[in-house]
Every structure is written in C-alpha cells, then in structure tokens.
A and B are shown apart, each in its own frame.
Chain A
Amino acid sequence: MNINPEHIWDGALEKLKTWARINSPWAIHYNSGSCNGCDIEILATLTPRYDLERVGVKLQGSPRHADILICTGPVTLQSRERLKRIYEQMPEPKFVVAVGSCAISGGAFQGCYNIVGHVDAVIPVDVYIPGCPPRPEAIIDGVVKLLESLKKTDGRAQSTDDRLQNTDNRSQTADAGQ
C-alpha cells in the first residue's frame, strides 16, 4: 500500500466536513414565480410549531453562505437568469430542493406564456417535495431525506459542470418541445 504522507489527513478532514455539513446546513430561499403559498409554508416550517432549526437548518440571506437552495414556483422568464446566477454564486457542494407542484412540473401554470417550466429545466434539483403547497411536515421530511442521502455519498455531490450540462440538455429539449 502506498501512503502519501502529504494527504494522510485528507480522508479524516473530508469526514469532518461531511459531519459539519449534515449537522448545520444553511439554506437560502428563492421564489422564482410562485404564488406565495409554498413560501409561507416554508416560513411556517421555520417558526415555533415546526421549527426546522432543530435539525440544524438555518435560513440565510446570501447565496454565498448557503448549502441548500430552496426553490419554489414555476420559473418565469424574468427570474430564469436570476435563479441561475444565485445557483452559480453558491459555494460547492450545493444542493437544490424544489418545493411544490409548480417547481416540479409547472403545476397549475402550465401553458402560461411567461413560464419556462419546472426548476429542473434551469438548475439541477436534488430533492422534489410535491404538494400544492406541501405541508410543513413534508418540507421537513424532504430536507431530512436530503441530509440522509448526504451521509451515504460522504457529502459529495456530482460535479456542478456535469449537472449543469445535463440541465442544459434538458432545457434544450424543453425549448424544442415548445
């Protein structure tokens, strides 16, 4: 076995980072065209009855501090570039949670002229939480499932370039479909 003394702590450090990441993920929230219903349920998730902070999730103001992007609503033409920019500003590794039927499929707004469609057509999504809007319990469940899945993958996500490539392919297909 060949042990490189310079990288002897790398594995341990990686484990430590994963542990820290899973125990205190910071989230930001962006409404890309939602009706508000999901947004108030996300807020309700953070307030005393449901209290998402007890699983360590804290809502942050800036994408540069965030691990998780909680995204609601169908993506409108205006917010598409913004959503991409917010995603690109987040540091690696980053995860996206799509909340609500609209974020998953366009929901009730399918066919409206100013809708790009689902969040998946613009940025890669890790967890989908269905519902119109999902109950706070469902949002907590989705976030906890994301954290559980991080334990299995050692907290590493697929590299962003690959994922964006996949998304570009998807959105091109979506554009062609329209």
Chain B
Amino acid sequence: MEANKFIVPIGPQHPALKEPGHFEFTVDGEVVTNATIRLGYVHRGVERGTEDRTWVQNLYLIERICGICSHIHATAYALGVEKLAGVTAPPRAQAIRELFCELERIHSHLLWVGVAAHEAGFDALFMYSWRDRETVMDLLEGLSGNRVHYSCNLLGGVKFDIDEAQRDAILRGLDFLEQRTHHYLDVVTNDAAFLRRTRGVGMMTREQAIEYGAVGPVARASGVARDVRVDAPYLAYDQFPVNTIIDTAGDLEARFAVRVRELFESYRVIREILDKLPPGELAAKMPRKMPPGEAISRVEAPRGELFYFIKSNGGDKPERVKVRTPSICNFGSVGRLTIGHQLADAPMILAGIDPCFSCNDRVVVVSTK
C-alpha cells in the first residue's frame, strides 16, 4: 500500500443504509481514489427456491424478493406465467394491477427522497417525506389489507376490486400528495444548502449511462429515454400511457428531480385509471400445470427495468426462474462515479441509484481497478 493511501471499510452493518453491503473506499486525504463493493449478504437462493414450489406458491415467494417493490415482482412473474399458459388477464385486472404499480412507485419514490435526504444530513426532509408516505401506505392498506406485501396478484388476475369509497379515498390522498410533491420539487431544485450536496455530484453523462448499462430513473436523469412502460407497454399502459420524464444534467440533483417529477405522472395516471376503470371480471381461469415452454416478461419497477425469464417443463413447478433486477444494473456505475469525489459524498452517490440489496444479491465483487 502506498504511504498516502488509506482504505476505509464500511459495512456490512453500517449507519447509512438499512441493508447490508460492504464497501471499501481507498482514499487519498478526503478524496476517493478507488471503490470496491461486496454484495451478497442477503443472498437467500430465491431462484433455486422457486423450483421447489408450485406455480401459485411462487407468487408469494417472489413477492418477498423485495419488500419495497414487491407488487412489481409478482406482476412480472404473473405476466410471464400467463404468457406461458396463453391466458390474458381481464382488462379490469390489468388496470388494477397498473394502479397498484403506480401506487407502489409513489411509495418507493417518497421513501427514496427521504432516505437520500437523510444521507445528505437533511433529516427534516426525511421526516416530512416519510410522514407523507404514510398517506399512500394507508391507501395501499385500504385496498389490500397489508402495508407492504399487498398480495394483490393472482395467476390470471387480481384479488381485490376497487369500490366507490376506496376510489374517493385514493383521490383525496392523491390531492394531498400532489400538493406536497410540489413542495418537494421546490426543495430539491431550489434549496441552496441541499443543492451544494447534489448539484454536479456523481455526474454521469449520457454515454457513460449507456456504457454502464444504467436503467430506470438513473438512466433517465442522464438523458437516456429508457422506460419499459413506454417502450413496450404491458398491463394497461397502452390504454393509460405515461410520459417518460427525462433530465439531461446527469448529476444527483437530476436524479432527485426525475424521481419527484415521475410522481406527478403517477398521480395523473392513477386518476385516469380510476376515471375509466374498465368493467368486467377480476380473474381468468388458469391451469394448475403450465404447458412446456419459455417466457420472458419485462416491466418497469420503481428502480428501472425488471426482467423475468420463466421456463416450464409441463409440471406444476417451474424448471427455472431467472430474475434480473434493476439495482444490479445500476450498481456498476456506483464504484466508478464515487472516484474523485469526497468520501462524504459517497453515501449520497450510492443512495442516488436507490440501491435495493435484497434484489441484487447475485453479484459478488465489483472492482473498478
């Protein structure tokens, strides 16, 4: 080791994030010169676990890959299995699934705004955004009966319908959240102290974003128009479309702005769905054994593109389920982006990709040497 180099090990238990990951930052004074990330502390073996469970049981295991974006995991799986079986969920079920997806996106983005602000030492914003997040948690609980794992999906449809009272509650909640979101947009783009932590920090150009394979809001903040909801509409996204939110700055401020502005899109789409919710059945009949074959399904999770590969050999259990989560795509950029920044900015840059360790427990080492 050179005389003026020092390695700062952080984790796996650390005060900054709530999930385990080990980081080694090589520093020269306060400046990071190299970063090594070791993941895998939450590797549970879910993909292998799916092969021991029936198609229906897997719905519940796969929901528990991630507690923040649980609905989108189950949706991606259900869409894939429906494709295998050649069944399409009824339009009302598709619209309700999309509604849950967008409510989940709201809860995830508000959660992220809070956590990222906490990394910057801006705890007031953390507390405010988490207080407001309880509004959307109440809505999700009112719809499904659970705050985190909603279990709204069935193979072939959904379990829960939306009645008038729930519809009014959602609309009231959205009005409150929309008003608060205007305030957050104002804070993340105008607060002078906060901007000193975000403007120009963690710069990723459009070319870099493509090279590192960034997805989701991280890519969109660097000017890459990549959104599965628009590129390859699934569920009812062709009927209730969303607009891609893009920022070209590529720094942390842009990542804040993109996520906060995406909230407005979600509010708009949810109102549209509630306005024109198609009538009809909630679920289609599904076989117990899926015909042999392979299917893929792509959806847009709050953190980016989520990809499922499902293979059936004709039995009542899948032969292989492969999950590719958005956090793992974005992790490649973190090590590179922290180099040249102050050590104090490293948690911010890490939080900037909205890392979800429980999703990306497949990587072992990412070294930027």
Contact present for A82 and B20 (CB under 8 Å): yes
Point out the residues of chain B lying under 8 angstroms from A62, CB to CB: 15
Which of B20, B52, B130 sits near A43, CB closer than 8 Å?
B130
Contact present for B134 and A112 (CB under 8 Å): no
Complex CA gap A47/B64 in Å reads 24
Contact present for B41 and A115 (CB under 8 Å): no
Contact present for A135 and B45 (CB under 8 Å): no
Contact present for B19 and A39 (CB under 8 Å): yes
Point out the residues of chain A lying under 8 angstroms from B147, CB to CB: 41, 133, 135
In this assembly, does B8 line the interface, its C-beta being within 8 Å of a C-beta of chain A?
no
Point out the residues of chain A lying under 8 angstroms from B9, CB to CB: none
In this assembly, does B44 line the interface, its C-beta being within 8 Å of a C-beta of chain A?
yes
Point out the residues of chain A lying under 8 angstroms from B43, CB to CB: 33, 76, 78, 114
Contact present for B13 and A82 (CB under 8 Å): yes
The digit string for A12-32, where 1 denotes a CB below 8 A from any CB of B, is 000000000000000011111
Complex CA gap A114/B357 in Å reads 16
In this assembly, does B159 line the interface, its C-beta being within 8 Å of a C-beta of chain A?
no
Q: Which of B66-74, B188-196, B207-215 contacts A (4 or more CB under 8 A)?
A: B66-74
Complex CA gap A111/B67 in Å reads 20
Point out the residues of chain B lying under 8 angstroms from A174, CB to CB: none
Question: Within residues 38 to 72 of chain A, which ones have a CB less than 8 A from any CB in chain B?
Answer: 38-44, 47-49, 60-63
In this assembly, does B288 line the interface, its C-beta being within 8 Å of a C-beta of chain A?
no
In this assembly, does B40 line the interface, its C-beta being within 8 Å of a C-beta of chain A?
yes
Closest chain B residue to A30, Cβ basis: B13
Closest CB-CB distance, B65 to chain A, in whole Å?
Answer: 6
Contact present for A112 and B131 (CB under 8 Å): no
In this assembly, does B12 line the interface, its C-beta being within 8 Å of a C-beta of chain A?
yes
16 contacts between A and B (CB under 8 A): A31-B358, A33-B41, A35-B64, A35-B70, A36-B66, A39-B19, A44-B133, A48-B130, A49-B134, A76-B41, A78-B41, A82-B12, A82-B41, A109-B49, A112-B48, A114-B43
